[in-house]
Amino acid sequence: MTIHQHFDTVLINGRVVDPTNNIDGKFDVGIRLGKIASVAERIPPEQAGDIIDVTGQIVIPGHIDTHAHLSSPFNSNVDRAYGHAMLVESGTTTALDLAGDPTAMVQGMIKRGAGLNVASLMGLVPHETVPEDDPRPAVLRDAVADVKRRGGFGVKMLGGYHPFTPESSADVVAAANEQLAWVAFHVGTKDSGSDMTGLREVPEITGNGRLHVAHINSYTRGMIEEPHEEVQEALGLIENMRSQWITEAYLAQANGTNGLCDENGDVVYNVAQNCLKARGYPTTDEGIRESLMDGYGSALIERGGRVIMVTGKEAVEIWESASTDASLSYPVNPPTSAFSLATARYEDGTFRIDAISTDGGSLPRNVAIERTMALVEFGALSMDEAVIKLSYTPSRMLGLLNKGHFTEGADADVTVINPSSGKASMSLVAGELIMLNRRAIGKGGTWLVLDEGKDSAAATGLPYEVINLENSKLYASWS
């Protein structure tokens, strides 16, 4: 008698955690045709094609990173496409490329892809991706329509680097909302900074619209008041805008910035200025140089197919060889802020900050899973809550209704975590292994596009999936 094979792959003996389906225990996960086919106490081995033994490991729906960097809207001294493998090796299965360029992202996916699902936004940079310093509404409408046609989800304002006026910032939100495009904001305008002064402006800039307010922890570094005071103020602003904003925060101390200086030797970008001010360095090229030599600042460099951080003389040489236009990093994110933002809840038990992100990718700080697991170990989050922050809520944020859970028929995107290290050891996308033993083994990827971008996606020959942002948390309650 022939026994029919029911599953392409079965993960056996893992601790499966899926709060959507009230699952937390030792189960087998059966995968067929890239979808979850069964979660059962035991799946007979004769019904499996491939068997993967994950005894002693934690099996969760694939981590969805709602803030990563896989491309750039302008020239960079580091190829951000290295971030595909770097994210995969941290356990991520889906990422939102926040503030790059969809055309550049997909070129990077073809060249250096590692199996991720990726949606991409375009960063709004005057005279690079938009033709005006403070783009008029008609110009913004055209820019949003164009990026959707090219396969992007929408746009991001880079207030810490390329700020608009508050009025023009509000026009960006309106133009994106009008076309049901994604719109994210690294806060700051020409009237404020990339700190609490910028966040205070955002409710008025949002108006009656919808907005993704990026990396809340970046505005709670103690630049205006004490970090804990800024955290409480930020949480209050978020509560007041609860039905209009989606949010995320990351858990790394290291930030990402750029060391560009003008012809007078003054640091150009507000974020880099704040990093130097935080430790008393002058906001000049000499301040950058001293901070790198002292080991406070780091420069990014590609080595062995990954991006790493270096300090000292090597960092200064990298920064100078790029004519100061180099990617840098400073350890300016207080752990107390990160802890508070990751765990803060409303009275009904739901989280005030929607998701835990990395703001990594090509930046070597893809620690969302391991730092979240540290919070679980500490008792600040339950394992269920960790999955909600890492996988389920991010899936709702992006409108990826078939991800973030192990319901039968859901996408077989899976992250496997070693509980002793807190790090991901294996991950699958659509039932295919893309990472094993912390090394990326996947290729290419799947491009997540809107309906307007499907022709651009089809022309690349890459797998793609059309997403409807009406299903996203950003627009689900839109009326």
The per-residue pLDDT string of the chain (479 residues; one tens digit each, 9 = 90 and over) reads 445 569 999 999 999 999 999 999 999 999 999 999 999 999 999 999 999 999 999 999 999 999 999 999 877 789 999 999 999 999 999 999 999 999 999 999 999 999 999 999 999 999 999 999 999 999 999 999 999 999 999 999 999 999 999 999 999 999 999 999 999 999 999 999 999 999 999 999 999 999 999 999 999 999 999 999 999 999 999 999 999 999 999 999 999 999 999 999 999 999 999 999 999 999 999 999 999 999 999 999 999 999 999 999 999 999 999 999 999 999 999 999 999 999 999 999 999 999 999 999 999 999 999 999 999 999 999 999 999 999 999 999 999 999 999 999 999 999 999 999 999 999 999 999 999 999 999 999 999 999 999 999 999 999 999 999 999 999 997 75
* Cα-based angle 242, 247, 249 (whole degrees, multiple of 5): 140
Give yes or no: residues 71 and 135 share one domain: yes
Give yes or no: residues 315 and 430 share one domain: no
Give yes or no: residues 287 and 225 share one domain: no
Give yes or no: residues 85 and 17 share one domain: no
Residue 386 covered by a domain: yes
Residue 460 covered by a domain: no
Q: Which residue has the tokens 């409108």?
A: 399
Give yes or no: residues 210 and 199 share one domain: yes
The CATH code of the domain that includes 47 is 2.30.40.10
Give yes or no: residues 341 and 365 share one domain: yes
In this structure, the number of other CB atoms found within 10 A of the CB of residue 436 comes to 15
Torsion angle of alpha carbons 167, 169, 175, 181, nearest 10°? -160
pLDDT at 1: 40
**What are 479's two structure tokens?**
């009326």
Residue 2 covered by a domain: no
pLDDT at 435: 98
In this structure, the number of other CB atoms found within 10 A of the CB of residue 311 comes to 17
CB 436 within 8 A of CB 429: no
pLDDT at 393: 98
Give yes or no: residues 435 and 312 share one domain: no
Q: Which residues contact 402 (CB under 8 A, 6 or more apart)?
A: 409, 410, 411
The CATH code of the domain that includes 247 is 3.20.20.140
- Final residue of a structural domain among 306, 330, 354: 330
Give yes or no: residues 93 and 125 share one domain: yes
pLDDT at 77: 84
Residue 468 covered by a domain: no
Residue 379 covered by a domain: yes
- What per-residue string of b and e applies to 29-40 under the rule 16 or more CB within 10 Å gives b? bbbbebbbbbbe
**What are 208's two structure tokens?**
């009656």
Give yes or no: residues 202 and 225 share one domain: yes
CB 389 within 8 A of CB 351: yes
Reported pTM? 0.96
Residue 38 covered by a domain: yes
**In this structure, what are the phi and psi dihedrals at residue 462, rounded to the nearest 5 degrees?**
-80, 155
Give yes or no: residues 166 and 246 share one domain: yes
Residue 390 covered by a domain: yes
pLDDT at 194: 96
Distance CA 231, CA 172 (A): 26
Give yes or no: residues 22 and 34 share one domain: yes
Give yes or no: residues 316 and 421 share one domain: no
* Cα-based angle 479, 236, 245 (whole degrees, multiple of 5): 30
pLDDT in tens, 71-105: 998 777 899 999 999 999 999 999 999 999 999 99
pLDDT in tens, 319-366: 999 999 999 999 999 999 999 999 999 999 999 999 999 999 999 999
Residue 218 covered by a domain: yes
**Range of the structural domain that residue 339 is part of:** 62-253+333-397
Question: How many structural domains does the chain have?
Answer: 3
CB 340 within 8 A of CB 351: no
